[in-house]
A and B are shown apart, each in its own frame.
Chain A
Amino acid sequence: MAADMHAHSELHAQSLEHDAHAHHGHHDDHEHHESFVSKYIFSMDHKMISRQFLITAVIMAVVAMVMSIIFRLQLAWPGEKFAFINAVMGDKWGPDGVLDPNAYMALVTIHGTIMVFMVLTGGLSGTFSNLLIPYQIGARDMASGFMNMLSYWFFFLSSATMTISLFIEDGAASGGWTVYPPLSALEKAMPGSGLGMTLWLVSMSFFIVSSLLGGLNYIITILNMRTKGMKMTRLPLTIWAFFVTAILGVLSFPVLFSCALLLIFDRSFGTSFYLSDIYIGGEALSQSGGSPILFEHLFWFLGHPEVYIIILPALGLTSEVISVNARKPIFGYRAMITSILAIGFLSFIVWGHHMYVTGMNPFLGSVFTFTTLLIAIPSAVKAFNYITTLWKGNIQFTPGMLFAIALVSTFITGGVTGIILADSALDINIHDTYFVVAHFHIVMGVSAIFGMLAGVYHWFPKLFLRHMNKNLGYLHFWLTFISAYGVFFPMHFLGLAGVPRRYYTNMEFPLFHNLQDINVLITVFAILGALAQIIFLFNFFYSIFRGTKSSQNPYGANTLEWTTPMANIHGNWPGALPEVHRWAYDYSKPGEEADFIPQTVPLRDGEEDGGGHH
């Protein structure tokens, strides 16, 4: 069966190759006539689209980061006046430099939304799936360049709408990035639930369209357009990760769409999917019979897969970066694929762990505890496989490699606290506290950002044909790594002391007064971390234009993207498509002169493929 499928897809790949080839020749002739608009704006080229995603995501990340500094200032020194806050927020939301409580809520909400969706979903998958799928499977471009272009422009619309929503009269959506109704449904519940929330929903709808267009394209491209010899079991783990990620997205984003659609109905057309028995603003609402719990189920049916949509690509990038720079095959290639598939499957049956204290049936809670803890097994396998890949390696500490190793560290540190949260009995007391904030920032936020940065440093030569500055990269890395732990590790203790998340200040409770120095420590590290990102931004934009030119295969890597010339040409390879003869991980193979063997090198007589032995 598997062999069948394989033969089939190979045929497919061949015929596509022919098409693409003819197509390509045609393009070559016309390359010079390309207009500015079709080259830089409405481009259908996967490499340009990748860069568009990346630069948009970098800008959005800066916006979200500045927000976090503002609310961290408020948490560390509540009520203190900061000229910075007044300068950024204006007199309405930051009068005299003190942050307004409603503005605090809006900042937290939009910070979370931008980071989760725009930066770590759109930005991460959009950049690297687009860049690496055609490159690493040996295709001339995505299956549909047009859909791909639409995917970016919907993403752009979504980001722009979210940003615009910050500037409206009543403020942006402020009900938390999870936008639970009735809070998010009723304007009377908070000002941000008016136009701000409408724009949030519009933005998310664009985002879902973008994500689906992108995801379908990735899946089809990977299934149908692999070059000759690129069996599924020869794919680099990056592609496996993008593949499963895209499937998760295609299966779960439509559910988020229905979830949002019903909310739109409740907000604008008087339906009561999520609303019942509500008295607010001096008035009993007519809606009855709905349930906010329904929203939570729909939301987390996307929401949990979503966290893996974020982390899997980061892990995929890391697999590749670690293997290349350790100069060793990734340890347990098949186990890694199995783990990715297991995580992908399990991620659909654990969503209830976000809802243990919603009054759910205790039996159901038990089931979710069981499935959730199962996910820790494939996660552990991945972590151990990374560590073993480093063992006896010849590690090249590029900035990308440093970030990849750091990802493994934060993935472990954040993963173990998941074990506590997954335990329904223990979650009772820490649900919605800073313990959760610590957990998901470390395991998802920090890890995925590290994966993304590892990818940017490592593949910068393929993105912009140049290198980023190494020494600035080192400085950026070490400051970032230290501040990441400095910010998020102490948060666990706030949570264990009972501090709820999404509080404008903790000073209203004598219970929390003696924890204020922890908040100060966290904010100091947050500021340090933000300053470190200035180094990155400088390095990034400087290197795009002035960085040193890269050679064709600067790291001695095996995958196909490094067989393309150092020029961004249509169709990626000037001649025929490369043919693949081996897996992607023949590094430091015994009896070989060089410490890498590109996938295009035929197997020798009697040589076994795929690192197999015994």
Chain B
Amino acid sequence: MKFVIYFILILAAAAIWQLVRVVELSAKLKGVDPNKVTDKDNKLNSRLMFLFMIFLWIFSLWCLFNYKDRLLPVSASEHGIDIDWLLNFNMIIIWIVFLVTNSLLFIMAWKYYGRSDRKAAYFAHNNKLEMLWTGVPAIVLFVIIFMGIRLWNRTLEPADSKVRIVEVYAKQFSFTARYSGDDNKLGKANYRLIMDANVLGLDSSDVAGHDDVIISDTLFIPVNEEVNFRFRSQDVIHSAYFPHFRAQMNMVPGMETFFHFKPVVTTEEMRKITGNPEFDYVLLCNKICGAAHYNMQIKIVVGTKEQYEAFMNRHTEFLPAEKTAQVK
């Protein structure tokens, strides 16, 4: 079988080879350079350029209309709504630029194909035109820059200290959540204290940590309440990516990073919006971190305040064995 395939491939290559030679030799006999571009070639390729333009329109717009319903659903966070708005605004601009400039290019290529009886125009520069296409992009870009920076600063403004702090801790290849408890303070941690029973390396001598709650299968957050995530990593860089909330922050060993946002759509509501009764929010790892990078995730649930409290009551506070021992 394999042999047959190789055989056919070799035959095909030989056939092309011979064909090329025949064409080149016959042209040589006629005394013309077979690889010199002719008027016929120019016409053919200029038409193909035009067809390519049509292909590009159809293909790009087909992608857009065919795929647009499979993109992320409406933002589940407050700032995400602004991000989506700005994204759409910029998208409209770049779609227009993409279609118009590409079309201009292909139309030029189609219209001005070479003919032996023609000569090109001598047009080396024109200050007005050049000012035009320096100035217009500059103005548009300044608008884009201004709006982008404004939203960026608003989104990343440090959170108020009253905002609930939740830690997300990463290691190859899982996430663990730690809630700060009633005092809204996370207890200290030190990587040298890490062991099987104390994956986060919590320091039990810090009383602030005694009411911390560690949960490793679900990240539960109440709706309509700002939450300030603190990220840490045990081994390599990971990235906490919340696609539905338009949020992302790298998790860097040796460093604490933060991102805060306000979820505004519960899991229940999002199930209705997406028409998918099995829908779940998810936090995924978005920085290459090893062989199982493709499967590093934790489920996120956004619920009402009551649901949140019920959920938290089902989980116990941080009372590691060694700590209880110490206290005694």
Q: A-side interface residues toward B, CB under 8 Å?
A: 101-102, 105, 175-176, 180-183, 186, 189-190, 275-280, 284, 288-293, 326-335, 357-359, 362-363, 365-366, 369-370, 373-374, 376-377, 380-381, 383-388, 390-398, 402, 405, 408-409, 412-413, 416-417, 419-420, 423-426, 428-429, 431-433, 467-472, 474, 478, 481-482, 485-486, 489-490, 492-493, 496-498, 500-506, 508-511, 514-515, 518, 538, 542, 546-548, 551, 554, 585, 587-590, 595, 610-613
Which B residues are CB-close (under 8 A) to A373? Answer: 141, 144-145, 148
CB pair A394 B90 closer than 8 Å: no
**Given A397-B46, A497-B71, A590-B122 in contact, is the A419-B90 Cβ separation under 8 Å?**
yes
CB pair A432 B239 closer than 8 Å: yes
Q: Which 10 A-B pairs have the closest CB atoms?
A: A611-B124, A276-B254, A498-B243, A359-B257, A390-B108, A397-B45, A392-B121, A423-B148, A503-B294, A416-B94
Distance between B113 CB and nearest chain A CB, rounded to angstroms: 5
Which A residues are CB-close (under 8 A) to B191? Answer: 277-279, 284
Question: Which chain A residue lies CB-closest to B53?
Answer: A409
CB pair A502 B293 closer than 8 Å: yes
Which B residues are CB-close (under 8 A) to A180? Answer: 236-237, 287-288
A485 vs B57: C-alpha distance in the bound complex, in angstroms? 11
CB pair B48 A478 closer than 8 Å: yes
CB pair A551 B33 closer than 8 Å: yes
Contact with A along B47-76 (1 / 0, CB 8 A): 011001001100110011001101110000
A397 vs B113: C-alpha distance in the bound complex, in angstroms? 8
A-B CB pair tally, cutoff 8 Å: 375
A299 vs B94: C-alpha distance in the bound complex, in angstroms? 29
Which B residues are CB-close (under 8 A) to A420? Answer: 87, 90-91, 94
Which A residues are CB-close (under 8 A) to B86? Answer: 423, 425-426
CB pair B71 A366 closer than 8 Å: no
CB pair B290 A390 closer than 8 Å: no
A595 vs B122: C-alpha distance in the bound complex, in angstroms? 10
B306 adjacent to chain A (CB < 8 Å): no
Question: Which chain A residue lies CB-closest to B20?
Answer: A469
B249 adjacent to chain A (CB < 8 Å): yes
CB pair A428 B155 closer than 8 Å: yes
Which B residues are CB-close (under 8 A) to A511? Answer: 243, 282
**From A392, A489, A500, contact of B120 by CB (8 A):** A392
Distance between A298 CB and nearest chain B CB, rounded to angstroms: 15
A595 vs B121: C-alpha distance in the bound complex, in angstroms? 10
A397 vs B37: C-alpha distance in the bound complex, in angstroms? 7
A419-B90, A426-B86, A612-B124 are known; give 18 further A-B pairs, CB within 8 A: A183-B290, A186-B235, A289-B254, A292-B237, A329-B123, A357-B239, A365-B152, A369-B149, A409-B105, A423-B152, A426-B83, A426-B87, A432-B287, A482-B55, A486-B59, A493-B68, A548-B34, A589-B122
A504 vs B45: C-alpha distance in the bound complex, in angstroms? 40
Which A residues are CB-close (under 8 A) to B48? Answer: 478
**Given A277-B254, A288-B254 in contact, is the A332-B125 Cβ separation under 8 Å?**
yes
A289 vs B130: C-alpha distance in the bound complex, in angstroms? 52
